[in-house]
Each structure stands twice: as C-alpha cells, then as structure tokens.
Amino acid sequence: MGKSDWGDVTEALKKVINKEAGSEEELLTLTYDYLKGIANNLASGNMKADQLSPTELVHEAYLKLFKNEAGLQEPRSRGMLYSLSARAMRQILVDHYRKLSADKRPPDSKRSPLDEQIESIKDQTGSNIIDLDEALEKLNEFDPDSCSIIELKFFSGFTNNQISETLLISESTVERKFKSARAFLRKELDSNEQ
C-alpha cells in the first residue's frame, strides 16, 4: 500500500471508530490488497489443500478484527490496524496448525534459530509456528511494541522505515527494539528446546 493511500485508510478507519454505516466494508475494500499481500507472504505459495488459502486467511482476519470474534482490541489507528491484522492472521494460522497437528508432534522435536523459526511459517509442519506464537505472546506481555515490530517485519513484510512510520517511532528505536525482541525470542525458543 502506497503512502498516498494511507490518508484514505485513516479516514475510513475514523468512520469505523465512529460506527458509520458501511464503514467496515469501505475499510476492507481499501485494505484488501494489502491484507491479501500479508496472507500471500505468509502462505508463500506453499498452501496445501487442507490449509487455509490466502483469501480465506484475509476473510478470517476480517472477522477477527471487525466482528471481534477473538476479543482483539478495536483498531484506533492505521498502525494499530496493520499490526492487529498481522496478529490476527498469525493467530488464525496457529489455531489452524494446532488443529492439523494435534497429537502428531514428536516429543523430541528440535527447534531451529529464530530466523529459521520465522521462515518455518512458510513450512507446512506447523509445530514451529506454535512455538514461535507462544514466544511472541510472552514478548507481547511485557513489550507490546517489540511484538508489533516482529509481527510487522516478519508477518507483514514491512521495512524498518515502514514500521517506523506505522508505529510513529524512530527507525533507530525500531532497530533497537527489533534486536532486543529477537534476542528474547531466541532465548525463549532455545529454552523450550531443553
């Protein structure tokens, strides 16, 4: 989504917050391609028949965000909308993988380094995304901004500059928080290995 479109998204989001009729559909129309891009990035073209398609993922995220089926807080800004969209898609994928892999996880499964953990989202095993999700939830408990940075970077494919503009923080803060969050996640994923 180009920077020029952000004003339209912000205006549509204001209408959603004010509960104007038809505003959710307008916002979805404006953000659909962006949300589909996130879903495609997560799917990376490797979806199997028994898994969610990018279109299904976008629709499920829409329900989570605007029908509040998952108890997500209501987006109050464009940055929060993007962050919550990435979080909703991550939760949907995790729930889906949990259903698919129930009782199939070997007790001695090995975890890989963080970058491979994040890339494993594109794998179809499911177990690594569950471990990563648990670590992200812990990170979110004490540093929601760092969790949002990880979600925007890896689940939405944002650059540091885009994250900075979205979360209204400096690029150096994004970089610092990313390094800290990455170290935290590595530690969490490594501790689960033992």
Task: Read off the tokens for 158.
Answer: 């944002």
pLDDT at res. 47: 47
Instruction: Specify the pLDDT at position 138.
Output: 93
The number of C-alpha atoms within 13 Å of 9 and in the hemisphere containing its C-beta is 22
Residue 136 near residue 151 (C-beta atoms within 8 A): yes
Contact indicator for 132, 189 with CB cutoff of 8 Å: yes
pLDDT tens string 42-84: 666 444 445 678 888 888 888 887 776 545 566 677 777 877 8
- The count of other CB atoms within 10 Å of the CB of residue 27 is 23
- Where are the chain's structural domains? 3-193
Q: Is the full-model pTM beyond 0.85?
A: no
